[in-house]
């Protein structure tokens, strides 16, 4: 393949981890609001009066420290609230990470497994900081948690660090996360896990028959490319495809400033599949994994593709460009067609594909599309259980007509825009004809304001639900 580009690696961030096993950690009690009166009644009178003086009620994430009578810390309590509060706020216990004094804590009582894992994972995720450009004035919070008894600490740490990688990639602005840097990050993950990886760049995309990736990325001074990683040599073939638009100006159909502001996150699909791939490799799944990322910048220049251009895709289907801002489905079309040629057992696509998906479900819930009822049911159930909420949307066949412009096989941007997430999904599905299982996630990749364990900024979604749901469906 082509010669290596200059590498600007993503700076290594501190690994999210549980505190090591050491004597002297502070017992941390997780107490639901309903249980609180009985719980505190069973404590020494001084504790009861102290809690009353502070007005503690065990609301979700509320923190109470209990003194030991000699000026030390005997224990701490974090409120688990009531069922309604827990339904409204995921990872609420993670508020304790910044509210508690520095030190090492351990969960003092047994929690049901799901609540325990949510508390432990939330604790790790709350320790994530994006500090590449500005070191915080105060030291990072250091209320740390020991791995809870009975929990799979390695699995939880792996999942948390996959999410941290996704966040780092999305948070890094486009000047430092262009196609070159996304490639460097991709190669670094491959190298760390002994995966084989290659990149097809610039004009080589034409000889490799990846014309849509070449055309969409052609306006940028930073060469477009396709990143391709393979890992594992036994088990079902699982292929992940992620949209890697490092910045989406909209192209000649330029986005207004208000819509362009967040478009560094338009490689959120690539960031999420790369995090997911890292987790799969670290968890040692018995699969033949492949990861494909079309990495481009949707820029404006004399080399821009235009509305009304008709492009021929790798698969041979012709596409009329009605809007250069519908670029994601174009680069994905070639990547999906390439992936589909070896008929993998399962193909998962993740992309910040449409504004329509956000209008439909908001920032929190990720719509996904699949024809596989078994996977769909598992994804929704597991997503709810691990608090990675997803909702199935339909590949509504009657809308197929909307993506057929007459002058070409496909239209990249149907005129009225109705059902925009569905028509985009139908467009992608046209490029998957051999793989028996296909699912596409129209993700957001962003958290708009600080929430427990979910700081404002880049955000993964769907990956944790997939980690729970895929093994059963693939028969692992
Ligand atoms: N990257 C955007 C979609 C997007 C916008 C995701 C805002 C999340 C938040 C995508 O490339 C795009 O611009 N899509 C257009 C498609 C339309 C022109 C058919 C959209 O959704 O408006
Ligand atoms: Mg766009
Ligand atoms: Zn885009």
pTM strictly above 0.85: yes
Q: Nearest ligand to the C-alpha of residue 246? A: 3
Separation CA 183–CA 180 (nearest Å): 5
For position 260, what pLDDT does the model report? 98
Residue-wise pLDDT for 258-294, tens only, equals: 999 999 999 999 999 999 999 999 999 999 999 999 9
Instruction: Report which ligand 1 atom has the smallest distance to the Cα of 266.
Output: 1
- C-alpha distance from residue 244 to each of 142, 237, 241 (Å): 34, 22, 9
Residue-wise pLDDT for 431-475, tens only, equals: 999 999 999 999 999 999 999 999 999 999 999 999 999 999 999
Side-chain-facing half-sphere of 322: CA atoms under 13 Å: 16
Residue 199: helix, strand or coil by DSSP?
strand
Three-state secondary structure readout of 232-248: CCCCCEEEEEECEEEEE
Confidence of residue 39 (pLDDT cuts 50, 70, 90): very high
| Residue 1 pLDDT greater than 50, yes or no | no
The H-assigned helical ranges of 70-210 are 83-88, 96-99, 113-126, 153-171, 179-192, 204-207
Residues 376-387, mean pLDDT to the nearest whole number:
98
Nearby residues of 449 by Cβ (< 8 Å), 6 or more positions away: 456
Is any atom of ligand 1 closer than 6 Å to the C-beta of 323? yes
Residue 278: helix, strand or coil by DSSP?
helix
Confidence of residue 374 (pLDDT cuts 50, 70, 90): very high
| Residue 412 pLDDT greater than 90, yes or no | yes
Which one, of 197, 140, 157, 187, lies nearest residue 7 by Cα?
Answer: 187
- C-alpha distance from residue 246 to each of 134, 265, 442 (Å): 22, 7, 17
| Residue 380 pLDDT greater than 70, yes or no | yes
Is any atom of ligand 1 closer than 6 Å to the C-beta of 248? yes
Is any atom of ligand 1 closer than 6 Å to the C-beta of 466? no
């Amino acid at each position: 393949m082509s010669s290596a580009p200059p590498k600007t690696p993503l700076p290594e961030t501190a690994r999210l981890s549980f505190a090591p096993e050491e004597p002297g950690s502070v017992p941390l009690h997780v107490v639901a609001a309903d249980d609180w009166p009985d719980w505190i009644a069973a404590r020494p009178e001084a504790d009861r009066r102290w809690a009353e003086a502070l007005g503690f009620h065990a609301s979700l994430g509320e923190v109470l420290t209990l003194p030991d009578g000699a000026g030390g810390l005997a224990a701490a309590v974090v409120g688990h609230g009531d069922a309604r509060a827990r339904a409204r706020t995921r990872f609420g216990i993670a508020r304790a990470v910044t509210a508690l004094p520095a030190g090492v804590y351990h969960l003092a009582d047994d929690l049901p497994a799901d609540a325990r894992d949510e508390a432990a994972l939330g604790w790790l995720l709350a320790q994530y900081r994006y500090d590449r450009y500005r070191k915080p004035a105060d030291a990072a919070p250091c209320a740390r948690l020991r791995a809870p008894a009975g929990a799979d600490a390695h699995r939880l740490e792996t999942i948390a660090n996959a999410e941290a990688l996704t966040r780092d990639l999305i948070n890094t602005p486009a000047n430092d996360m262009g196609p070159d840097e996304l490639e460097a990050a991709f190669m670094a993950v491959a190298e760390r896990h002994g995966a084989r990886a290659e990149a097809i760049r610039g004009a080589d995309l034409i000889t490799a028959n990846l014309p849509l990736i070449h055309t969409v990325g052609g306006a940028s001074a930073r060469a477009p490319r396709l990143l391709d990683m393979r890992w594992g040599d036994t088990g079902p073939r699982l292929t992940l495809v992620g949209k890697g638009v490092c910045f989406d100006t909209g192209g000649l159909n330029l986005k207004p400033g208000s819509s362009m502001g967040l478009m560094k996150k338009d490689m959120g699909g690539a960031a999420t599949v790369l995090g997911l791939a890292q987790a799969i490799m670290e968890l040692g799944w018995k699969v033949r994994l492949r990861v494909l990322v079309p990495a481009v910048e949707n820029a404006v220049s004399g080399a821009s593709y235009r509305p009304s251009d008709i492009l021929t895709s790798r698969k041979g289907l012709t596409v009329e460009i009605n809007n250069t801002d519908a670029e994601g489905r174009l680069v994905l079309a070639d990547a999906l067609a390439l992936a589909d040629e070896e008929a993998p057992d399962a193909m998962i696509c993740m992309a910040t594909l449409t504004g329509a998906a956000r209008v439909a479900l908001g920032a929190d819930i990720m719509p996904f599309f699949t024809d596989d009822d078994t996977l769909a049911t598992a994804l929704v159930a597991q997503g709810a259980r691990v608090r990675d909420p997803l909702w199935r949307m339909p590949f509504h066949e009657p809308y197929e007509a909307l993506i057929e412009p007459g002058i070409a096989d496909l239209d990249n941007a149907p005129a009225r825009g109705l059902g925009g997430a569905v028509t985009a999904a139908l467009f992608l599905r046209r490029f998957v004809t051999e793989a028996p299982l296909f699912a596409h996630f129209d993700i957001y990749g962003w958290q708009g304001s600080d929430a427990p364990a979910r700081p404002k900024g880049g955000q993964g979604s769907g990956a944790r639900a997939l980690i729970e749901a895929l093994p059963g469906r693939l028969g692992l």
